[in-house]
Structure 1
Amino acid sequence: MTIVQLEYIVAVDTYRSFGIAAEKCFITQPTMSMQVQKLEEDLGVILFDRSKQPVVPTEIGVEILEQARVALKEGYKIKELISNKKGAVEGELKIGIIPTLAPYLMPGVISAFMDKYPKLQLIIWEYTTEQIIQELKNGLLDCGILSTPVKDKSLHENPLFYECFVAYLSKSSPLIAKKNLSTQDIDLDDLWLLNEGHCMRNQILNMCNRDRSDQLKPFEYNTDSVETLKRMVDMNRGITLLPELSMAGFSVKQLDRVRYFRSPGPSREISIVTHRNFLKKRLISILEQEIMLAVPKRMQNNKKKQILDIY
């Protein structure tokens, strides 16, 4: 029985598929099946019921998988202790980040890591909040960078900064005449929003605290991209709400169509989220430091801000 074999059976249990587990472990499916079968032969028990789709662990398999996760976690702790003792910043850090934040925060953070910590590999996925939470619970991510609070007792939230939402107006918007806005100024029927499933969409709807009218619109556009929302406002009518960091690179003309909200302005809390029993504490602490260096200091306190709920 080897550590690698334990990693493989945990992967099969996590994804309930030999094919997907093999892909995630960067091996072929025949190799995955052979290694799991060899472990079963060594232990003298069947770990998975392969007759079912998706595959499920057997009764004894459930107990063995629970211990396999414990053994892997303890093994990772040993590696972490040795790395910390050496003072080395190396290994890999698996990060999930929401797509409404990733393109505006991560390029600078990644650049800093490449310069300062060449032996540390960052593996980053853009996921929705729900995906990040699930991957953290399954042990597939070391940490997530997302809007909080998520209100899950199995997770630990470490708030980092507070990002304002701003209104981005089309040239024809009647709100263009106003210097600052209130949430009551926002007409949901004129608002371009992200798809359902994005926490930013929920935050904006919670901020407006009103429902859209039943009036039939000529079309409905579904997008996962903040950049698409910007373009829709540029080329069409209406407004959208943007996270403040997404304004980087705006032209003077675009900045003229940005409006802030009256204090306390609507904001989102951005945190590093980990499982309660998380590992790689030192690497995550370094990630936190680099994020704090990448965002303006005025974002690092929540005074005069209305923190929006993501649910």
Structure 2
Amino acid sequence: MTITQLKYVLAVAEYQNFTVASEHCFVTQPTLSMQIQKLEEELETQIFNRKKKPIQLTEVGEKIIEQAKIIVDESNRINDIVDQQKGFIGGDFRLGIIPTIMPTLLPLFLKVFIKKYPKVNLKIEELTTEEIVKKLVDGHIDVAIAATPLENEAIKERVLYYEPFVGFVPKEHRLFKNDTLDVENLEIDDILLLEDGHCFKESILNLCSTFGNKNQHFQLHSGSFDTLIKLSKEGLGMTLLPYLQTLDVNTNDQVYLKEFKEPVPAREVSIIYHKSQLKIHLIETLKSVIDSVIRGVIAFNDVKIISPIQKRKGA
């Protein structure tokens, strides 16, 4: 039994196809099939039911896969230990960031990070929170930045900063005359929201439901804050923005920005990774860089964290 054979088995279990698995393992399909067959002969058991389409694991195969993941992870950990001992900061590092954070946070730290750690091959993906959690669990990304808490036992969360919500209120709106906003005066019917799939939308729904607003009928959903701002200026309603997004609002439109009374509703933004993650030294360097740049941008203390997790009725 070899680590390579176990990696091939894991690939077939994931893609449920020998040809696709071989492509991801960068070997020919006959080579991959032969190695898996050797492993099955050694174990005197069938890992896969090849008669099923797509290929499925046998009952014992499911147990073998669980153990194979542990063995492969532990073998990779040896390389991680050696890198840390040598003080080497480099190699592939896969990062996922949710769409409502990437455009504002990434420009703040990316240049600093790649200049400080030129040997790191940083691969960045824009992903929804649901996609991030799945890819972390499957091992397809190493770390992510998302709104938390996620209440997932498999995921470790380390807070980077707390980002307040800021209102964008057009002149025609009933709340424009107010110097500051009060969450109790929000009406969900006239708040323009991001489309489904964005956790910031769920945070807004949770914010409003927290203060007893039960009407959740929406007329407009959009995929970007820029669009929401333009629609708001057309008199179609107010919207809420994360604080970093307001730094890009042009000078003429800053008159529409309204801060909340304390405690300010805010989202918790964290660096997250799977509890068995190997590249802890790389995660530490990334967190350190972000901490250093964000400290001078956000400095709010009295905040009320709004969960990005969708609340169920009756909960």
Q: TM-score, normalised by structure 2?
A: 0.86
- Structure 1 counterpart of 2:66: 66
- Deviation of 1:35 after TM superposition, in Å, equals 4.0
Distance 1:122 1:66, change over 3 A: same
C-alpha distance in 1 between matches for 2:167 and 2:25: 44
- Deviation of 1:71 after TM superposition, in Å, equals 2.2
Distance 1:138 1:173, change over 3 A: same
- Structure 1 counterpart of 2:302: 304
Counterpart AA for 1:37: S
- Structure 2 counterpart of 1:225: 224
Distance 1:88 1:174, change over 3 A: same
Are positions 1:87 and 2:90 aligned together?
no
Q: Percent identity?
A: 33
- Structure 2 counterpart of 1:75: 75
- Deviation of 1:195 after TM superposition, in Å, equals 2.1
- Structure 2 counterpart of 1:169: 169
- Structure 1 counterpart of 2:251: 252
Q: How does 1:32-181 map to 2 (within 5 A)?
A: 33-43=29-39, 44=41, 46-181=46-181
Counterpart AA for 1:101: I
C-alpha distance in 2 between matches for 1:57 and 1:307: 43
* Secondary structure, aligned partner of 1:177: coil
C-alpha distance in 2 between matches for 1:225 and 1:3: 45
C-alpha distance in 1 between matches for 2:203 and 2:215: 15
Distance 1:149 1:189, change over 3 A: same
- Deviation of 1:232 after TM superposition, in Å, equals 2.2
- Structure 1 counterpart of 2:313: none
* Secondary structure, aligned partner of 2:166: strand
* Secondary structure, aligned partner of 2:175: helix
- Structure 1 counterpart of 2:6: 6
C-alpha distance in 1 between matches for 2:19 and 2:168: 45
Cα deviation code 1:188-229 (max 9, x no counterpart): 111111222322111111111123366xx8xx4443323332
- Deviation of 1:273 after TM superposition, in Å, equals 1.5
Counterpart AA for 2:34: K
In structure 2, list runs of 5 or more residues that go unmatched.
310-315
Cα deviation code 1:47-68 (max 9, x no counterpart): 3334434432223322332232
Cα deviation code 1:222-251 (max 9, x no counterpart): 433233322322344211111111122221
In structure 1, list runs of 5 or more residues that go unmatched.
none
- Structure 2 counterpart of 1:286: 285
CA contact (8 A) 1:5 1:35 kept: no
CA contact (8 A) 2:158 2:272 kept: yes
Cα deviation code 1:152-192 (max 9, x no counterpart): 22222111210001111224222221110001222211111
How large is the RMSD of aligned CA atoms in angstroms? Answer: 2.5
